[in-house]
Amino acid sequence: MSLAPVLRWTSVPLSNGLHIPILGLGTSHSGGYCHDTIVHALTKCGVRHIDTAKRYGCEEKLGEAIRESGIPRSDLWLTNKLWPADYGHTAAKKACLDSCSLMGVEYFDLYLMHWPDPLQPGCSNRKMRAETWRALEELYKEGVCRAIGVSNFMVHHLEQLLEDCSVVPHVNQVEYHPFQQPKQLIDYCRQKGIVFEGYSPLAKGQVLNNPTVLQIAEKYRRTPSQICIRWSVQNGVVTIPKSTKKNRIQENCQVFEFQLEEADMSALGELHDGRHVSWDPTNVE
């Protein structure tokens, strides 16, 4: 049975009135993309939210998979990300339009600055972020991006951006799983009306053998991955697990048929140990 009706209407409101599906499918570089699996996710699993980035190198192929699925563009939520090599006003606008062209779409539902460090020697990080963000603000006003946001931004990065620019980011996408729960950042985002989105909800597999997770999975007769994804969405976090396996995506989508008890949510909440399985932006100026 298709899960499309469930996934389509389970969403989180953004400050501009749009609704982002709370569960999506992430893609990545280094073997993190499979054409047939994307088509399967869209046509058989009800996935309507796809997350990608220029850095992943799969924009053109992803566009082909979307067209092959036959799902109307208006039914999809497509997120793309701007790599730091394209930061700066002119470069950012060009990169976004080039990504649209590669994917064969006229707009992105969400467009993010991928990383707080411009990775460009000799420039002020803060000034470059502000200049780039102003380009995203223009893309937003022009309708090329229906919403704009950032990824891997910490509180101090957001504070500076809010001082320098006019549009508050609609989303901040950051690593989030039971071992990495940046509560101060989450609280700050919610105070400012910024939706918190989490990637790597399974900690790249590290959480799947945790005794607490395994015990809770046995209790609910669910898989460890389903427990972790359910915990994330039940916390109100937009969640984008990645997989290139059809059965895994089907499994990951089946998290709206049960609810974790408060004691189990708390037990998973106590697993935070501060570890990162991806980039750590804490010390980026």
Q: What are phi and psi of 181, to 5 degrees?
A: -125, 90
Is 114 annotated to bind a ligand? Reply is yes
pLDDT of residue 120: 87
pLDDT digit string, tens, across residues 222-272: 999 999 999 999 999 999 999 999 999 999 999 999 999 999 999 999 999
Q: Is 60 exceeded by the pLDDT of residue 189?
A: yes
| Helices and strands (DSSP H and E) totals, the chain | 11, 10
Is 220 a residue of the active site? no
Q: Is 90 exceeded by the pLDDT of residue 76?
A: yes
pLDDT digit string, tens, across residues 47-71: 999 999 999 999 999 999 999 999 9
Q: Is 70 exceeded by the pLDDT of residue 1?
A: no
Instruction: Identify the band that residue 103 occupies on the pLDDT scale cut at 50, 70 and 90.
Output: very high
Q: Is 90 exceeded by the pLDDT of residue 121?
A: no
- Residue pair 10/22 in contact by the 8 Å Cβ criterion: yes
pLDDT of residue 7: 52
Q: Is 80 exceeded by the pLDDT of residue 30?
A: no
- Residue pair 125/97 in contact by the 8 Å Cβ criterion: no
Q: What is the mean pLDDT of the chain?
A: 95
Task: Please give the average per-residue pLDDT across 146-167, as a whole number.
Answer: 98
Q: What percent of the chain has pLDDT over 90?
A: 93
Q: Is 80 exceeded by the pLDDT of residue 215?
A: yes
DSSP for 93-161, written as a single string: HHHHHHHHHHHT-S-BSEEEE--S----TTS-HHHHHHHHHHHHHHHHHTTSBSSEEEES--HHHHHHH
Q: What percent of the chain has pLDDT over 70?
A: 97
Options 33, 56, 111, 199, the catalytic residue: 56
pLDDT of residue 144: 98
Give the domains, in start order, of the chain with CATH numbers. 4-200+238-244 (3.20.20.100)
pLDDT of residue 4: 42
